[in-house]
């Protein structure tokens, strides 16, 4: 009958609710995932969404493949090639996942709620709402650390989000075109074409290497009269760049930069950034002001406000200034086990890298399956306990308790470091591998080829791999696009 068909259709569609409704099966717990970066996407990719009502909340409705961001900044890659819509990850899941483009502004770990707001740039509307969760995956990442140094926010380009790389590309090309304007003095040309990169961590090194490649591979033929005036300076406050790499690789990077005419100023701190210059404190503590056209700020990250606020709600447990303290199972210490923190917002004993976040994410997806089983068994046990005692029920109870014992033991998270890799320009990369009972340090063109293939194979989808490979071929054939 029509009624039966409708009922059948309702049940078939019950879990595949349209986008504007939240998945709600009262028999399942609600799992809210905050973020769409390395940690969150890795959870989503592996997660069995059939076990939960899954809701993803992130201000970006896509995953950004951050290691290739500097390549976007110099026009080697198209911005679209390194992003993947979050809905693309969730589209084949058994049960529909709700993906909400919004910023989480507050988490209440006692009431177990998340407040989030939709800040639509186009509509100009700001609306907010609060939802409850049973489990929360807190994977909001970090934001750029400016140390409140004057002028950083106003005048520097960051290298964190897609729009940062796009902004840097526009700004860089603007410097080139202004330098090419007829009648500019040589002094002004030198200023416009002086690129200052702040921070000698992997981001600063990779950006410098990419700018150098752009100069050598394209600008020499597109702007022959200007190419010799382009000058790159890398500023680092510590005594050396790339402290996480071995001494040998640091030296290799320094000598490669020397060949590439990139100046490295160590023990030098940026004190202020002005519209047309950067103020530096030299190792002897004297202050100099150096004219420049573009400053790229790659001086590290700090916790987001929503993370600091959440930690502030559990002050006796959350005292680590680097991030959320978690236990061996990535559960936020001080909560009842309902909040998991992964990626750059969590404090661990390893560097905050994409590799760590992605391993934490896939670990979490696996233990969430186990937790769902445990919760289901506990609910069954609870139901049996409130029913009258019979021999049959006692046997059933015994059986459930046995199964519970098996799923209760969660395997702790263990990070397996696969090595650190950084591109340093001129088709060279450096890599520190933790194999062979120690560190195997390699650098050079072979490492670079490995770097490319490693990156392209870790890009999440075939779609992105195709897009990136096509961009690389296009650049080899036609050069980078210098139009703005």
Q: Which is nearer to ligand NAD, 49 or 256 (CB)?
A: 256
We find the least distance from the C-beta atom of residue 151 to ligand NAD, in angstroms, to be: 11
Residue 468 contacts residue 82 (beta carbons within 8 Å): yes
Instruction: Name the residue nearer to ligand NAD (CB basis): 233 or 420.
Output: 420
List the structure tokens of 2: 């029509």
Q: Which is nearer to ligand NAD, 115 or 417 (CB)?
A: 417
Decide whether 244 or 384 has the Cβ nearer to ligand NAD: 244
Residues 325-359: b if buried by 16+ CB within 10 A, e if exposed: bbeeebbbbbbeeebbbbbbbbbbeeebbbbbbbb
Q: Which is nearer to ligand NAD, 57 or 265 (CB)?
A: 265
Residues binding ligand NAD (CB under 6 A):
67, 149, 198-204, 235-238, 244, 269-270, 298-301, 351-353, 420-422
- Rounded Cα distance, 35 and 144, in Å: 16
Q: How far apart are CA 195 and CA 172, in angstroms?
A: 8
CB of 477 to ligand NAD, least distance (A): 27
Q: How far is the CB of 429 from ligand NAD (least distance, A)?
A: 9
Shortest Cβ 350–ligand NAD spacing (Å): 9
Residues 6 or more apart whose CB falls under 8 angstroms from that of 252 comprise 430, 443
Q: Minimal CB distance to ligand NAD: which residue?
A: 201
C-alpha 256, offset from chain centre: 28
Of 34 and 242, CB closest to ligand NAD: 242
CB of 142 to ligand NAD, least distance (A): 8
Smallest distance, ligand NAD to C-beta of residue 94, A: 34
CB 425 within 8 A of CB 210: yes
Q: 270 or 314, CB closer to ligand NAD?
A: 270
- Of the pair 164, 236, the CB lying nearest ligand NAD is at 236
Which phi and psi (to 5°) does residue 274 adopt? -110, 175
Residue closer to ligand NAD, measured from CB, 198 or 306: 198
Using DSSP, how many helices (H) and how many strands (E) does the chain show? 16, 25
Query: What are residue 295's DSSP bridge partners?
Result: 196
Q: What's the sign of the alpha-carbon dihedral 436, 440, 444, 445?
A: positive
For 95, which DSSP code? S
Strand partners, 106: 115
Query: At closest approach, how far in Å is the CB of 199 from ligand NAD?
Result: 3
Least CB distance to ligand NAD at residue 456 (A): 15
CB of 352 to ligand NAD, least distance (A): 4
Q: What is the DSSP string of 28-41?
A: SEEEEEE--SHHHH
Q: What is the largest CA-CA distance in the chain?
A: 98
């Amino acid at each position: 009958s029509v009624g039966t068909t409708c009922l059948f259709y309702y049940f078939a569609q019950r879990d595949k609710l349209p986008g504007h409704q939240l998945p709600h099966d009262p028999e399942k717990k609600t799992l809210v995932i905050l973020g769409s970066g390395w940690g969150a996407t890795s959870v989503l990719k592996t997660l069995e969404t059939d076990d939960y009502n899954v809701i993803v909340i992130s201000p970006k409705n896509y995953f950004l493949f951050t290691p290739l961001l500097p390549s976007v900044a110099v026009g080697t890659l198209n911005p679209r090639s390194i992003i993947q819509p979050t809905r693309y990850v969730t589209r084949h899941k058994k049960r529909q996942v709700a993906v909400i483009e919004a910023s989480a502004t507050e988490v209440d770990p006692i009431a177990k709620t998340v407040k989030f707001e939709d800040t639509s740039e186009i509509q100009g509307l700001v609306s907010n709402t609060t939802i409850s969760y049973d489990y929360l995956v807190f994977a909001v990442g970090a934001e750029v650390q400016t140390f409140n140094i004057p002028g950083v926010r106003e005048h520097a380009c960051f290298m964190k989000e897609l729009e940062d790389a796009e902004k840097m590309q526009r700004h860089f090309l603007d410097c080139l075109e202004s330098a090419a304007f007829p009648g500019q003095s040589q002094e002004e040309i030198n200023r416009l074409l002086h690129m200052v990169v702040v921070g000698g961590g992997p981001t600063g090194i990779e950006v410098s290497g990419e700018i150098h490649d752009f100069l050598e591979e394209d600008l020499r033929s597109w702007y022959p009269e200007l190419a010799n005036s382009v000058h790159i300076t890398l500023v680092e406050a510590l005594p050396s760049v790339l402290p996480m790499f071995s001494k040998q690789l640091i030296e290799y990077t320094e000598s490669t930069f020397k060949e590439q005419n990139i100046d490295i100023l160590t023990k030098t701190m940026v004190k202020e950034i002005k519209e047309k210059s950067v103020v530096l404190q030299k190792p002897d503590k004297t202050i100099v002001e150096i004219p420049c056209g573009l400053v790229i700020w790659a001086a590290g990250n700090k916790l987001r406000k929503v993370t600091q606020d959440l930690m502030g709600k559990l002050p006796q447990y959350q005292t680590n200034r680097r991030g959320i303290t978690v236990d061996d199972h990535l559960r936020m210490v001080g909560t009842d086990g309902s909040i998991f923190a992964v990626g750059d917002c969590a404090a661990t004993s390893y560097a905050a890298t994409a590799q760590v976040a992605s391993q934490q994410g896939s670990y979490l997806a696996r233990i969430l399956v186990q937790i769902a089983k445990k919760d289901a068994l506990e609910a069954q046990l609870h139901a049996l306990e409130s029913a009258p005692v019979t021999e049959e029920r006692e046997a059933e109870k015994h059986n459930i308790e046995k199964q519970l014992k098996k799923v209760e033991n969660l395997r702790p998270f263990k990070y397996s470091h696969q090595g650190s890799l950084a591109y340093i320009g001129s088709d060279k990369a450096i890599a520190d591998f933790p194999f062979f009972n120690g560190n195997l340090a390699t650098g050079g063109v072979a490492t670079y080829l490995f770097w490319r293939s490693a990156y392209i194979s870790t890009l999440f989808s075939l779609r992105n791999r195709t897009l990136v490979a096509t961009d690389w071929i296009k650049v080899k054939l036609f050069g980078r696009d210098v139009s703005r």
